Amino acid sequence: MLFLYQGSTSVCSVKVRVVLAEKQLEYGGEILDLQRGDQHRPDYVKLNPNAVVPTLVHDGNVIIESTLIIEYLEDAFPEPVLMPAAPQNRWQARLFMKKIDDYLHSACSTITFATANRRVLLKRTPEELEQHIAKIPNPDYRERQRLSIAHGLAAPHVAQAVRQYDKYIGDMEEALKHAPYLAGADYSLADAAATPYIFRAEALGMDGLWSERRPNVGLWYDRVRARPSFKAAVIDPISEADRDRFNVPREETWAKVTEILGIS
């Protein structure tokens, strides 16, 4: 039996849901309210000491870290195959996933907290907000989120986050000049892993990073959105509260992006 602890809009949770949908795997689960702080519940922290989502439980085995979870699913449920056969293409798929873990996820979190999450968190009292931030176990991550909430897109680390997003999408464009998917001719774990980050960029108003500059990323995104897994894993779990949270002034985000990158 598969059981997934997840967040409805958590990019890491979406990544895993996409792979589950691609493999047509049935699973149970619990959606944690991350704004409420469900990820810090003692029973959940026993499963995932990092107090983040997702966590997969498969026949009693607890699997954490989203990239490792989707690789686990590929090993445990090899059909349909979501990794290329050729070693060079397998390396490329893993490289795109590694770049997400190395810097894109942090960049995504920074910009999300400076925009969508900030709108919600600033409605709390200073005491409630401090209690929420204090629960974040990683001190560096905790301080970044504190700055994002306090200063929004003017936070000092937002510029680096925007440049990192731009770099990743630029790398996608280069790969997609030669093949329809990130690791070659066929859809792979790399495409599943990148999907929620591109969707999040679009939601926050950064789709100009490809719509105006990288046509091959736009074509890739069209192909990804046409897959049944996109609706099932990305769109359907979004709640009305989620839609309200991401109802951000997109033009403000894009104005800041263009300022940071020096583009018009």
* Higher pLDDT pick, 136 / 247: 247
Provide the pairing of β-strand 2-6 with 28-31. Answer: parallel
For residue 108, pLDDT beyond 90: yes
70 confidence band (pLDDT: 50, 70, 90): very high
Task: Give the tokens for residue 35.
Answer: 């704004």
Q: What value does the mean pLDDT take over residues 206-235?
A: 97
> In the prediction, which pLDDT does 235 show?
98
CA diameter of the chain: 55
For residue 38, pLDDT beyond 80: yes
Q: What value does the mean pLDDT take over residues 158-166?
A: 98
Of residues 148, 149, 144, 153, the one with CA closest to residue 206? 153
Is the peptide bond preceding residue 80 cis, with omega within 30 degrees of 0? yes
Task: Give the tokens for residue 139.
Answer: 């001190």
d(CA 60, CA 182): 33
> In the prediction, which pLDDT does 135 show?
84
Burial of 193 (0-12, 13-18, 19+ CB in 10 A): buried
For residue 218, pLDDT beyond 80: yes
Q: Which helix (H) or strand (E) holds 31?
A: strand 28-31
Lowest mean pLDDT among 71-80, 102-111, 125-134: 125-134
> DSSP secondary-structure letter at 179?
S
Give the HSE-up count for residue 220: Cα atoms under 13 Å, Cβ half-sphere. Answer: 30
DSSP 111-123: HHHHTHHHHHHTT
> In the prediction, which pLDDT does 201 show?
98
d(CA 108, CA 101): 11
Task: Give the tokens for residue 81.
Answer: 């195959």
The alpha carbon of residue 163 and the mean position of all alpha carbons in its chain are separated, in whole angstroms, by 17
Direct distance between the N- and C-terminal alpha carbons of the chain, in angstroms, rounded to an integer:
51
* Higher pLDDT pick, 132 / 232: 232
- Computed over every residue of the chain, the mean pLDDT equals 96
Residue 230's alpha-carbon distances to 22, 133, 196, in angstroms, are 9, 32, 9
Task: Give the tokens for residue 17.
Answer: 């849901």
Lowest mean pLDDT among 123-132, 146-155, 188-197: 123-132
> In the prediction, which pLDDT does 122 show?
86
> In the prediction, which pLDDT does 264 show?
76
The domains found in the chain, sorted by start residue, are: 2-76 (3.40.30.10), 87-261 (1.20.1050.10)
Burial of 13 (0-12, 13-18, 19+ CB in 10 A): buried
Provide the pairing of β-strand 55-58 with 2-6. Answer: antiparallel
Q: What value does the mean pLDDT take over residues 207-225?
A: 96
What pTM value is reported for the model? Answer: 0.96
